[in-house]
Amino acid sequence: MAGTTNTNTEFEIRGFNHLALVCRDMAETVAWYDEVLGMKLVKTLELPGGRGQHFFLDMGNGVDGIAFFWFPGAPEGVRGESLQDRNGMTAIGTVNHIAFDVPPEKMDEYAEKLKSKGVKVTQIINHSDSLEGGHQPNYDPATDNGDVFVRSMYFQDPNGTLLEFACWTTTFDESDVRHVAATADGVVPESRARIASGTTTSAAATVRTVRAALICSDSSFQARGLPTAGPQHRSP
């Protein structure tokens, strides 16, 4: 990630092979990923006993893929548990969003290309360290000095899955790992005493790096002019 050279000494993990998601309509989903994102279908499976389908698409480099299951009668995602709330939070074990790495110089071009394909897309968001991951509206790579670490735009596939085009704008080092991991109760261990004394809040308040663009409830998206859940592009 962003120029780091960490080596996994336990397993030779080369990156994502594929991400497997569940779709509502396989034909619509495959057409959308082909026509909008240019990802080609490379493998199809019919599950035994009429249990559904499992299709694979290539992202374009012959290595990384995204796969979809289609199950007859599969239930819709449970709103409020598996879909994102207004803070971008999803349930444990669910997919929050999928970020595809794109060239920095292509961000504006790709935003316009998505729009030309009928996709609702957020503005390009410049995630800034000084704003705790928030948007830096006056980003200039010549003078930023590494404050903005990633640029992103967000949109949805026909199933309401939140997708992201992202590009790193700096390299990471040890100084970028500076937060203590919270435990299951949402508390940073070293902050327990301060929380008990009322001088600070839970970890959720101190790691609020979830972007406004990750708001995924229909009402919130509509209020902000962002995509709502459900199909954003349909094949002719």
Q: List CB contacts of 6: < 8 A, sequence separation 6 or more.
A: none
- The number of folded domains in the chain is 1
Write the CATH number for 139. Answer: 3.10.180.10
Is 216 inside any structural domain? yes
Can you give the pTM of this predicted structure? 0.66
Average pLDDT of span 72-98: 74
Q: How many CB atoms lie within 10 A of CB 131?
A: 14
pLDDT at position 133, please? 77
Is 114 inside any structural domain? yes
Nearest-angstrom CA–CA distance, 182 and 58: 36
Is 7 inside any structural domain? no
Kindly report, residue by residue over 92-130, the tens digit of the pLDDT: 677 888 989 999 999 999 999 999 999 999 999 999 888
